[in-house]
Structure 1
Amino acid sequence: MAFLEIDNLKKRYGAVEILKGINLDLDQGGFLVLVGPSGCGKSTLLNTIAGLENISEGQIRVAGNPINDLHPSKRDIAMVFQSYALYPNMTVAGNIAFGMEMRGVAKAEREKAIEQVAKTLQISHLLSRKPSQLSGGQRQRVAMGRALVRDPKLFLFDEPLSNLDAKLRVDMRVEIKRLHATTGKTIVYVTHDQIEAMTLATKIAVLKDGELQQVGTPAEIYNTPANLFVADFMGSPAMNLIQAKAAQENGRIVLKILNKAGGGITLPVPGDITGQPLSDGREVIFGIRPEAITDHDGADRNARSIEMVNATVDVVEPAGADTFVVTHLGGKEVTARMRSDAVVQPGQELPFAFNLDKAVVFDPSTGKRL
């Protein structure tokens, strides 16, 4: 039995349905990330688990027990907010201990818990400071400590890193990952940042307009997206999505893609199509990640199907460890990810190595992966 179970959860404000029948489960010790664009319903879903929002239909269970009708204080759930929500007149130690003090926990027990949590989060040297004397990352650690000290059944994080600068976000991701590994706590985490989702999660749920688009491991979401929305949303740079048409050639079905000059290239159909074979003339969307398009020397030697495609280099973007190269295929910009020392110039005609082991195909009318 899953530790957290959400069955057919719906949330309406008047006639407007915000959550449209969400079904999710999470094992104990798991790390579920709810990801999607602004307004997709991920924070509303988190708030229904916390009890800050009532649900219109469905059921939420924790450890097999329904919690729909329980007051938030009775759910044994701790929440870390985007805004930190620290008491400015209290020290770090006071903020961490406040909830325990309200519950009548003995002073000696409070001090022991504060010491242990502060050591885990590496904030022992900050315990006597006020929130105004802390950096954004330190404040977020204190907010996490206040939740952690309660030892709840379930942790909820609502975009906790969105107020931090880019470098600090990376540092705090590592801290949260370490926290999960050392405590083994069950966590539900909301973000609009798909890099956060990929690096933190054991399971990802992608939402759009209040509906689940796909639920799976980071590898499943990234490598086998269920539809065009997931393919385009997850990954940075995004997956290349190119218009193509199935055609019969020499007794087999291939994919035809136009290039910028109006000519065409021919690619074998990727081998992971699970439905019926493509029919001659069927229009499809060919999807391939930037790292699956590279120069000849950078191609994966273990790949079963590498196809070389000549195309003109449009833009070169050095990015330190990699070089991103933009060309055009099928009337769209296509991004390739090459080695940092790849010698590439704009206007150059270059053979690009396509790793078709990593390619997927979508139906343009339904958006679903074939």
Structure 2
Amino acid sequence: MSFLEIKNLRKKIGSVEILKGIDISLEKGGFLVLVGPSGCGKSTLLNAIAGLLPPSSGDIVIDGQVVTDLHPSKRDIAMVFQSYALYPNMTVEENIAFALEMRGVDKAARATAVAQVAKTLQIEHLLKRRPSQLSGGQRQRVAMGRALVRQPRVFLFDEPLSNLDAKLRVEVRAEIKSLHQNTNATIVYVTHDQIEAMTLATKIVVLKEGVVQQVGTPAEIYNRPANLFVADFMGSPAMNMLKGRAVVGGIALFGKDGVIVPIPPSVTGSLTEGKEVILGLRPEAITDESLADQTARSVARIEAAVTMIEPTGSDTFVTGKIDGASFTARTRADVPVELGQNFRFAFNLDKAVVFDPESGRRLD
């Protein structure tokens, strides 16, 4: 049974509809990530769940209770903001304990709760400091501690890592994941960063212009994107989108003088000859021949001119070009490749998905 349910939620501001009939469900202990570009409605949806922004229509249900019209203080929800929102005149200990104090929890119980949370977040040595004496990562841990100490029904995170540098983002992201695993908390998390979405979520919701594009596990979103928007938005580098057309024996790619590859196994239905399609392949599904998956049912070997080489340390991204069409491959770090040479790439068509360019939808 779903613990959190969003039912046909709509939000209109003036004449502009921000949320357009959102339907989402999350099990107890789940980690739901709302992801999408700026202006897609993810923060609006989070604020509606928190009660900070009343929806125009629809319902929000938590643990069987309709909370749509409840005041934020009655929803038993804790929110962690990107700006930390700590009281500068209070110590870390006082910041964490403040919500309990407002609820009338006695001093001894507050001290016990704060000590437990501080141990979980490894900030015991910071309890007597003030926010001005903390780093950005430490402040974010304190903000998380203030939410965690209340033991709410749902945690809401509004882009909590956006103010941190790259190294701290990785560290705090790991702490949030560990927190979820250790506490089995129910979390709704907003981000525009698809890496955060993939690493943290048990369920991802991809939004565009107030409309849900796809709901699924990280693996489903990444490997079986519902449409071209999801395919392009999720993944770094983005999925290769190769224009082609259905022909006898497969799909013709790379223009007039290109190549014909077999129809990917993911396409169970027939393709009408001459139909325009887009073949989607993640960079890791295009490799040098030494990395080709020996268990793959369908592998196409294609020669292309190398136009760019990007070493990343652990591997190398190589851009190939045929008849004006480019693609990015992920190869081993020490791949013997040079700019301008013709290089033989292995295309793992088991990993390919095919889209209809008119509707943008994936073809099954």
Whether TM-score is above 0.5 comes out as yes
CA distance in 1, matches of 2:36, 2:237: 16
Question: Residue in 2 aligned with 1:284?
Answer: 277
Does the Cα contact within 8 Å between 1:325 and 1:337 map onto a contact in 2?
A: yes
* AA in 1 matched with 2:358: S
The one-character-per-residue Cα deviations of 1:285-324 (angstroms, maximum 9, x if unpaired) are 1100000000000111221111100111111111000100
Aligned to 1:117, the other structure's residue is in SS state helix
Question: Structure 1 residue 217 and structure 2 residue 217: aligned?
Answer: yes
How far the C-alpha of 1:329 sits from its partner, in A, is 4.1
Question: Residue in 2 aligned with 1:28?
Answer: 28
Question: Structure 1 residue 255 and structure 2 residue 251: aligned?
Answer: yes
* AA in 2 matched with 1:123: I
Distance change >3 Å, CA 116–CA 330, structure 1 → 2: farther
Counting only pairs closer than 5 Å after superposition, residues 324-335 of structure 1 correspond to structure 2 as 324-329=317-322, 331-335=324-328
Question: Residue in 1 aligned with 2:189?
Answer: 189
Aligned to 2:155, the other structure's residue is in SS state strand
Does the Cα contact within 8 Å between 1:244 and 1:330 map onto a contact in 2?
A: no
Counting only pairs closer than 5 Å after superposition, residues 1-370 of structure 1 correspond to structure 2 as 1-248=1-248, 252=249, 254-258=250-254, 263-274=257-268, 276-329=269-322, 331-370=324-363
Unaligned stretches of 5+ residues in structure 1: none
How far the C-alpha of 1:327 sits from its partner, in A, is 1.2
* AA in 2 matched with 1:312: A
How far the C-alpha of 1:75 sits from its partner, in A, is 0.1
CA distance in 1, matches of 2:254, 2:261: 11
How many residues are matched?
363
Q: CA RMSD in A?
A: 0.9
How far the C-alpha of 1:333 sits from its partner, in A, is 2.5
* AA in 2 matched with 1:333: S
How far the C-alpha of 1:150 sits from its partner, in A, is 0.2
CA distance in 2, matches of 1:268, 1:57: 48
Aligned to 2:28, the other structure's residue is in SS state coil
CA distance in 2, matches of 1:17, 1:40: 11
CA distance in 2, matches of 1:330, 1:71: 61
* AA in 2 matched with 1:343: P
How far the C-alpha of 1:283 sits from its partner, in A, is 0.5
Does the Cα contact within 8 Å between 2:242 and 2:254 map onto a contact in 1?
A: no
Distance change >3 Å, CA 153–CA 294, structure 1 → 2: same
The one-character-per-residue Cα deviations of 1:210-263 (angstroms, maximum 9, x if unpaired) are 000000000000000000000000000000001101111xxx3x111126xx62
* AA in 2 matched with 1:115: A
Unaligned stretches of 5+ residues in structure 2: none
Aligned to 1:6, the other structure's residue is in SS state strand
How far the C-alpha of 1:32 sits from its partner, in A, is 0.3
How far the C-alpha of 1:331 sits from its partner, in A, is 3.6
Does the Cα contact within 8 Å between 1:3 and 1:26 map onto a contact in 2?
A: yes
Does the Cα contact within 8 Å between 1:30 and 1:202 map onto a contact in 2?
A: yes
CA distance in 1, matches of 2:245, 2:322: 13
How far the C-alpha of 1:111 sits from its partner, in A, is 0.4
Does the Cα contact within 8 Å between 1:243 and 1:330 map onto a contact in 2?
A: no
How far the C-alpha of 1:208 sits from its partner, in A, is 0.1
Aligned to 1:314, the other structure's residue is in SS state strand
Normalised by the length of structure 1, the TM-score is 0.97
Aligned to 2:303, the other structure's residue is in SS state strand
How far the C-alpha of 1:14 sits from its partner, in A, is 1.8
* AA in 1 matched with 2:74: K
The one-character-per-residue Cα deviations of 1:51-78 (angstroms, maximum 9, x if unpaired) are 0000111101000110001100000000
CA distance in 2, matches of 1:29, 1:355: 36
CA distance in 2, matches of 1:61, 1:330: 54
* AA in 2 matched with 1:256: A
CA distance in 2, matches of 1:106, 1:123: 22
Does the Cα contact within 8 Å between 1:242 and 1:330 map onto a contact in 2?
A: no
CA distance in 2, matches of 1:230, 1:38: 15
The one-character-per-residue Cα deviations of 1:14-46 (angstroms, maximum 9, x if unpaired) are 221000000000000000000000000000000
CA distance in 2, matches of 1:100, 1:329: 64
Aligned to 2:358, the other structure's residue is in SS state coil
CA distance in 1, matches of 2:102, 2:29: 28
Aligned to 2:300, the other structure's residue is in SS state strand
Does the Cα contact within 8 Å between 2:9 and 2:19 map onto a contact in 1?
A: yes
Aligned to 1:307, the other structure's residue is in SS state strand
